[in-house]
Amino acid sequence: MPGFELFGDQERKQVNDVLESGVLMRYGFDGNRNGHWKALELEKAIAKRMQVEHAQLVSSGTSALTVALASAGIGAGDEVIMPTFTFVASFESIVAIGAVPVLVDVDDTLTLDPKKVEEAITEKTKVVMPVHMCGSMADLKALASLCKKYNLLLLEDACQAIGGSFEGKPLGSYGDLGCFSFDYVKTITCGEGGAVITNNERYKTNADHYSDHGHDHVGNDRGAETHPFLGYNFRISELNAAVGLAQIARLDEFIEIQKKNYTILRNAIENVEGVTMRKVPEGGVENYSFLTFFMPDEATARTTQKELVANGVDGCFYWFDNNWHYIKKWDHLKDLKSLGKLPEEVKNGLPDYHKADFSQSDKWLGRSISVLIKLSWTEEEVKQRAERMKNVLESVPETVK
């Protein structure tokens, strides 16, 4: 991770196809395309790889979440349960359609705690949205059971975990809907882009129309298409799709490299006293894009992260203090700071997150460190990195004392 590390002839060939045709838009201009429909081809490739019936490409992972929610009929006042540890896009997509983000604690998976999810369910709850952060997943079996019990949708945000699996199913395909991001720093990239996957034909049709101004895409005359309902512009371009088409074909190659590098690092540190590895639910297989572990306490974690960076371990994250990925610094959500008026359903329905007790999440995030796994490392670089990490982890507890 990320896929741009290994750009090559495959990506250049796909992009050149588009440039030579001159058609950069995914719809229309049939006669000028020279037979190239990159977005359509990528949708088919994603659906096949993710073992689902349908895929809809959009302009970003944020767009994918927004389109997925809208395609399932989620709207004003509906509550969507999401974790305290995620990217800001999770609640942005919910608020964008007038729904209410209900934040729930994470456990040692660093994703939704099923017990806390059940406690948060109300008559307004419509969706449970686990976010598979840093390449690993929520306890999908437990969450699916809750969704069945309370008649809720299970929407997987797999934007950071493409290529992982749960009980033999690709992440994103286990729930009713799944979303991916293909931005510049994801395991596979389009530069900018995202996708919604589902086995539900109605959701696919809705996503197809909604992401293109409500166009029904019937016939071959774009100007004559009708609009069954309101939509917006969340289209991907053919250039972005072309890059993704090359990258999806390389996904298994990338996962194999990540697994090899991840395993070398994990083997070096997992038996160090005081280090505990992040829990992966039974039946889960990571995509190995991050190696995440816990230190004994917050003070040791803070010191360890700083020492790792100081000793040349770049891409080392302490999420507890991160502006984008943890509730602690989401004041713009807590205060509902917006450029314009927000729906009354959002203003009246949003809990007071200034007063919320997320001490359970603090406990896990405060002790956690994540290390990015790169694709471009040489074997020697991985071994050197493993040695540095081991040395720091063995010495830091003494420093803290």
Catalytic site positions: 186
Contacts 24+ apart (CB under 8 A), 144-148: 144/174, 144/175, 146/114, 146/117, 146/118, 146/121, 147/175, 147/176
Which of 357, 365, 394 is CA-nearest to residue 278? 365
Question: How far apart are alpha carbons 78 and 94 in whole angstroms?
Answer: 9
Residue type, 179: C
Residue 153, H or E segment: strand 153-157
User: Which tokens sit at 11?
Assistant: 């990506």
Residue 356, H or E segment: none
Question: How far apart are alpha carbons 196 and 316 in whole angstroms?
Answer: 30
Question: How far apart are alpha carbons 67 and 207 in whole angstroms?
Answer: 6
User: For the sheet containing 125-128, what is the strand order?
Assistant: 54-58, 194-198, 177-181, 153-157, 125-128, 79-83, 100-104
Q: Find where tokens 């395309």 sit.
A: 33
Peptide linkage before 170 cis (omega within 30 of 0): no
Q: Are strands 368-372 and 316-317 parallel, antiparallel or unpaired?
A: antiparallel
Question: How far apart are alpha carbons 176 and 156 in whole angstroms?
Answer: 8
Give the residues across from 165 on adjacent strands.
170, 285
Question: How far apart are alpha carbons 38 and 191 in whole angstroms?
Answer: 14
- CB neighbour list of residue 270: distance below 8 Å, 6 or more residues apart: 277, 293
Question: How far apart are alpha carbons 215 and 212 in whole angstroms?
Answer: 6
Question: From residue 250, how far is each of 61, 188, 247 by CA, in Å?
Answer: 20, 8, 5
Question: DSSP letters of 367-387?
Answer: TEEEEEPPSS--HHHHHHHHH
